[in-house]
Structure 1
């Protein structure tokens, strides 16, 4: 069950705790700790929606940071550009396959750790970001790339940030999470191996500073999967909805 909680945390990491107000001042040390909850649907055959409550940690020391499961280093942070590299868990699928009883005989999956590099361009139109991940702990040896656009909107004490992402995952990534090997195939679960996939992700983030110490963050996200995933015999849906909410306390 611990692995399931970790997986759920990573699924929402790309759009939640690591979202500061654009152009906010950077201090030598920044630490926020809080409590968050997430509800995420499962696209796996017979999979259950996951509802979890977990501690949230966001820490930054100069150019180093630990945010939403990523350990990174900020190589460049200018008025227009931000370039980071680091490592984290790039989870395209659920390692527990939604705790589905129909898929319990398939081999266990592990959390793949990836190295990443990302570049973000900050403009008056919004935030443009590209990111590339490559798995480094020999779970599937695949890679993922994404390009996204987010438009920060300030309303009083609220920051509202709609975002659209286009994601590409290599065939190694897709087959690891959604494929069925020949040795594991049955009459009800035929063998399935496929190629790379392109997904689209839509989300809206809301951030509100309640006072100098407390802040609220919420996010609703829907991911639309390509045919290479939705055609898998262990998948029964072509999209997944996730809802997140949490409170953070700033220590310094």
Structure 2
């Protein structure tokens, strides 16, 4: 959680618009932690998802995700839906499908789908084009590679398309007294970039009267193929930098905190903050002007 054709191409045009709307909704879901996870302990228990029932919610407020790409807008956040369903084994959670292979008191193993968030940085049709004026760019990194000071300015022609794809793989949740550990590995399902991603995430939650606090540390690994597809430079974009920048795999590191204040059984006040330190291997791309992304959202959440 998170834009005058001939008659014969009208259907294709409508399909393209619907695809973009769907992608915006999926990207929006990623800003917030899901309301619940499959069969894991919730804080409080009222935040758990009841099995065999749809769990629907929406957060309305104001927030923004900074965009590390050169000459691209930051991404505003106003409307964030949450949609989930958990059956005996199959589940759907905020755009992702999963199947539980094994479940014990101390761990759960699932087959899952997921989606890369990297593509969301690239497209002008994001909500930022509708709801907010272009925000001021964040400062670039203060550290400078002196060996590159004589390199030509990284100016680009129109960027080629970075296509959306779904990833498929496995995840494991390990439940401990000190929190929940998630281990995941996924691979491109539709032969878009043929890359892989992995995640190590620790999260914990606390309840104090009407306040609910959730904290997480996240380590996201992206393979060389993923980094090259999204952050590499094509010859048509800039011939010089397409040769100079050689993509490598790397780890993004992040932290997020979500604070809820329970007003009623259905309404919460919500504050969510996330910081992502982009891997050096990705930040070295001339497409980027900063090596981090910051996200915040403040508003009210309603659970149906």
Q: TM-score, normalised by structure 1?
A: 0.85
Tell me, yes or no, if structure 1 residue 22 matches structure 2 residue 41.
Answer: yes
Contact 2:59 2:301 in 1 (8 A): yes
CA separation of 1:236 and 1:7: change in aligned 2, threshold 3 A? farther
Map residues 133-148 of structure 1 onto 2, 5 A cutoff: 133-148=186-201
Aligned to 2:146: none
Structure 2: distance between partners of 1:66 and 1:171: 29
Higher fraction of helix: 2
Structure number with bigger Rg: 2
Take 1:9 and 1:222, find their aligned partners in 2: how far apart are those partners? 20
Equivalent in the alignment of 1:59: 84
Deviation at 1:54, TM superposition (A): 3.1
Query: What is the root-mean-square deviation of aligned Cα atoms in Å?
Result: 2.8
Per the alignment, residue 74 of structure 1 pairs with: 100
Match of 2:145 in 1: none
Q: Indicate the SS of the match to 2:225.
A: helix
Aligned residues: 249
Structure 2 counterpart SS, 1:182: coil
Using the size of structure 2 for normalisation, the TM-score is 0.72
Q: Deviations over 1:2-40 (max 9, x none)?
A: 638835743762752344683446432142232445410
Per-residue CA deviation, residues 121-173 of structure 1 (Å, 9 max, x unaligned), is: 11111111111111111211100001111121221122212211112110110
Take 1:70 and 1:241, find their aligned partners in 2: how far apart are those partners?
A: 24
Q: In structure 2, how many angstroms separate the alpha carbons of the residues matched to 1:47 and 1:246?
A: 25
Instruction: Give 2:13's aligned residue.
Output: none
Cα distance in 1, alignment partners of residues 265 and 104 from structure 2: 26
Q: Does 1:48 align with 2:67?
A: no
Equivalent of residue 33 in structure 1, options 34, 38, 57? 57
**Residues in 2 aligned to 1:4 and 1:197: alpha-carbon distance in whole angstroms:** 30
| Alignment partner of 1:204 is 2:204 | no
- Preserved contact between residue 42 and residue 98 of structure 1 (Cα < 8 Å): no
Q: Is contact 1:10-1:69 (8 Å) kept?
A: no
Greater shift in the superposed pair: 130-139 or 189-198: 189-198
Which residues of 2 match residues 141-180 of structure 1 at below 5 A?
141-180=194-233
Give SS of 2:120's match. coil
> Residues 213-246 of structure 1: CA distance to partner in whole angstroms, max 9, x if unpaired?
2334432101001221111111110000011345
Change (3 A) 1:74 1:208: farther
C-alpha distance in 1 between matches for 2:60 and 2:222: 28
Distance in 1 separating the partners of 2:285 and 2:156: 13
Q: Runs in 1 of length 4+ with deviation above 6 angstroms?
A: none
- The structure where strand makes up a greater share of residues is 1
**In 2: Cα distance, 1:104 partner to 1:35 partner:** 38
